Amino acid sequence: MAAGSAGEPGEAPSGSGARAPLIGVLALQGGFEAHGRVLRRLGARVREVRVPGELSGLSGLVLPGGESTTMMLGVQREGLAEPLRELVRGGLPVLGSCAGLIMLDSKHLGLMDIRARRNAFGGQIRSFEADLEIGELTGGPLRGVFIRAPWIDEHGPDVEVLAEIEDHPVAARQGRMLAVAFHSELAGDDRVHLMFLQWARAFAAGAPSPGMI
């Protein structure tokens, strides 16, 4: 496929808000396809992002799970880090899931004021499911699928913790940046993606971001 901003047929040139929001999913490595499926099911247009030109015109960006080291190397190799930072700092909503949470932290892309601990649940319980009470979601607990998941060790005052497991933050937001330690795309519960799509629509419509740094 040609690199650049050509994208999929039927894409609007910009996230005008009049059409379904165009969401980019970083597709260098990891579980990007499952995010694409959920987002399409919810009515979004989806573009896999592998090169900087594919960042243009997005209303939101998903950083999927996978291996944060590999993904970070890919981001640097493709020259994606700086344009991606610029867009998110400008208010583009971003959802980081599992390795995506790690990518958002202060040691990686440096976008959220959080410090992630990789493979934090280590030992015997590397992978598990848990019901989470998420601050901003109505409709009861959300089933989270944790696969060699991180948690958030430290966070700054602009970060709102949305869910914890045994006092360890596993979901947090800062402005329109949303980080979840679990795989929100695998449990068949779309509420995290729905919340993110609301932010994407607000961004496309030009609404100011709440509490942006």
Question: Is the distance from CB of 35 to CB of 97 less than 8 angstroms?
Answer: yes
Single out the residue of 3, 84, 67 nearest to residue 31, CA to CA.
Answer: 67
In angstroms, the CA 82 to CA 109 distance is: 9
Considering the complex, state which of residue 152 and residue 202 has its C-beta at the smaller distance from ligand GLN: 152
Size of the site for ligand GLN (CB under 6 A): 11
Q: Which residue in the list 35, 78, 155, 185 is annotated as catalytic? A: 185
* Other CB atoms within 10 Å distance of the CB of residue 2: 8
Cβ 149 to ligand GLN, closest distance in Å?
6
d(CA 131, CA 39): 22
Q: Which stretch binds ligand GLN (CB under 6 A): 40-48, 52-60, 66-74, 196-204?
A: 66-74
Token digits for 207?
């609404």
Site map for ligand GLN, 7-46, x if CB under 6 A? Answer: ----------------------------------------
Catalytic residue flag (residue 154): no
Which of 35, 78, 98, 155 is the catalytic position?
A: 98
Which of 99, 186, 192, 202: binder of ligand GLN (CB under 6 A)? 99
Asked if residue 72 binds ligand GLN (CB under 6 A), the reply is no
Segment contacting ligand GLN by CB under 6 A, of 38-46, 95-103, 156-164, 167-175: 95-103
7 phi, psi to nearest 5 deg: 65, -160
Q: Please, what is the end-to-end C-alpha distance for the chain in angstroms?
A: 36
Catalytic residues: 98, 183, 185
